[in-house]
Amino acid sequence: MGDRREELAAALAEVERRVEDACRAAGRSRSEITLIAVTKTYPASDVRLLAELGVSHVGENRDQEAAAKAAECAGLGLTWHFIGQLQSNKARSVVSYAHMIHSVDRPRLVDALGREAVRAGREVDCLVQVGLGEGAGRGGAAPEEVPALAGLVAKAEGLRLRGVMAVAPLGEDPAAAFARLRAVAERVREEHPAADVISAGMSGDIPQAVMNGATHLRVGTALLGRRKLFVR
């Protein structure tokens, strides 16, 4: 456990250096950026070690794994982000632990999340996921559909519209993709001034995301290492 703690501490320090460098290059303050540790396929023990090292935002992609980890790490004061594609039938479970859902991409999901949030007596932060390319499995609403979808989230009881999220398409310059995301984010903010979150940037494209206004970075591999297979 001591070796793993040292491993994570060194990785976190390197990620922090990269984020600070990106902020300096973009003329931004480090305080504008929220670092989310994406812990999918890694055990709750890693989440605990990261919490000890000062990480307070944790991201997960799969409900089955996320629900168990959130329960096991209850009491650590963590903010849980659900960042994977989400089926409507998982809405009740995800709403029970997630503070922010990054992957809202269709009206039916807005309805399901709102209904379950009201049932649970919670108000859940939501980001509209923007599809920026044809990358298989990346998900997201078409950019032209985002303003209307954002309006549905903003009106939904139990949900709070916070902004937008995207994944840079495979094989494309992430700077160009994130510039398009920024333009969509600005359109949403014209109608909803409080929706000021841009969730963009992962281990390989931190500088490009920060340069294009990202407020939340979702970093997994650079913090925890190469993914392990998830075993049910």
**Cβ-proximal residues to 126 (8 Å cutoff; 6+ apart), any chain:** 100, 101, 104, 110, 113, 153, 159, 160, 161, 162
pLDDT digits (tens, 9 = 90+) for 155-208: 999 999 999 999 999 889 999 999 999 999 999 999 999 999 999 999 999 999
pLDDT over threshold 90, residue 137? no
Tokens 């890693």 belong to residue:
46
Residue 32's SS3 state is: helix
Going by C-alpha positions, the residue among 21, 54, 49 that lies closest to residue 35 is 54
Considering the entire predicted model, what is its pTM?
0.95
How far is Cα 218 from Cα 62, in angstroms, rounded to an integer? 15
Beta-strand ranges (E) seen in the chain are: 34-38, 57-60, 79-82, 100-104, 124-129, 159-165, 197-199, 216-219
**Residue 156 corresponds to which tokens in the numbers above?**
């939904």
pLDDT band at 2 (very low <50, low <70, confident <90, very high): confident
pLDDT of the residue at 231: 45
Beta-strand ranges (E) seen in 57-158 are: 57-60, 79-82, 100-104, 124-129
pLDDT digits (tens, 9 = 90+) for 65-95: 999 999 999 999 999 999 999 999 999 999 9
pLDDT of the residue at 216: 98
Count CA atoms closer than 13 A to 142's CA, side-chain side: 2
